[in-house]
Amino acid sequence: QSALTQPRSVSGSPGQSITISCSGTSSDVGGYNYVSWYQQRPGKAPRLMIYDVSKRPSGVPDRFFGSKSGNTASLAISGLQAEDEADYYCSSYAGTYTWLFGGGTRLTVL
Amino acid sequence: QVQLVQSGAEVKKPGASVRVSCKTSGYTFKNHGVTWVRQAPGQGLEWLGWISAYNGNRKFAQTLQGRATMTTDTFTSTAYLELRSLRSDDTAVYFCARENIIHFDFWGPGTQVTVSS
């Protein structure tokens, strides 16, 4: 199984909105509503930001929005803030208790 | 509160084995699975495997090629990952995380494993 495909980097200015895509196949992203997104700051463990495609855990700002269409999931962040600068990884369930991660996207807040 | 505490950094020679522990607290251990993820230097996250703390069922990523063992100790609420026949490309930070209905909601801080002759 190959990793999910994400852009290597995205950037935006404070206050702007950005979107990160995550492309998979009908065996993973397209086959299950179990896409999650993780934020990782340097030297830290990943933090769950979105699960089940579009659900936010408590404590995650509603500026973070997840969606999916076909085999591609997306993470949108509105009202960019400096603290949003981090690496973002998508993950998808791929059946029989296996998962895939995307290659990660570096978000730079200009 | 939910916490996952991992064992300390390890330095191993090629061909050796390493065991990383992940001691959990703050929740009913048997009600969740535990997953293992690693991150090589400067690279992304790689899913390694999952184990049910309820019945020990497990699933491994194909990339581990039979070199890994995952176990749990329900008395101490601890999960373990053992990796054998270590190679230089096993050098990475190894994370454990709680699996909560198909997503990973709490993570350990990571354990650095360095494989070097």
3-state secondary structure B84-104: CCCCHHHCEEEEEEEEECCEE
Give pLDDT, residue B113.
98
Give pLDDT, residue B64.
87
Residues A28-36, mean pLDDT to the nearest whole number: 97
Contact B102 A104 (CB under 8 A): no
Which residue has 């990952």 as its token pair?
B81
Q: Which residue of B has its CA nearest to A90?
A: B45
Distance (Å) from the alpha carbon of A82 to chain B's nearest alpha carbon: 22
- Alpha-helix residue ranges (DSSP H) falling in chain B: none
Which residues lie closer than 8 Å to B98 by C-beta, 6 or more apart? B2, B4, B24, B27, B32, B33, B34, B35, B104, B105, B106, B107
Give pLDDT, residue B115.
98
Contact A89 B44 (CB under 8 A): yes
DSSP A35-73: EEEEEE-TTS--EEEEBTTTB--TTS-TTEEEEEETTEE
Average pLDDT along chain B, 117 residues, taken 10 residues at a time: 97 98 97 97 96 95 91 97 97 97 96 97
CB–CB of A74/A67 below 8 Å? yes
∠ CA B23-B24-B29, rounded to 5°: 125
Is any Cβ of chain B less than 8 angstroms from the Cβ of A89?
yes
Contact A97 B105 (CB under 8 A): no
B3-6 sheet: strands from edge to edge: B3-6, B18-25, B78-83, B68-73
Structure tokens at A89: 């990884």
Is any Cβ of chain B less than 8 angstroms from the Cβ of A36?
yes
Contact A51 B103 (CB under 8 A): yes
Give pLDDT, residue A2.
73
Nearest to B105 among A57, A96, A102 (CB): A57
Give pLDDT, residue B10.
97
Which residues 11-30 of A have a C-beta within 8 angstroms of B?
none
**Confidence band, pLDDT 50/70/90 cuts, at residue A39:** very high
∠ CA B103-B78-B2, rounded to 5°: 50
Count of CB pairs separated by less than 8 Å, A with B: 62
The answer, yes or no, to whether residue A1 has pLDDT greater than 80, is no
Q: Which residue of B has its CA nearest to A35?
A: B103
Contact A101 B37 (CB under 8 A): yes
Which residue of B22, B98, B102, B112 to mutate against A (max A Cβ within 10 Å)?
B102
Identify the CA nearest to A72 among candidates A108, A109, A14, A24: A24
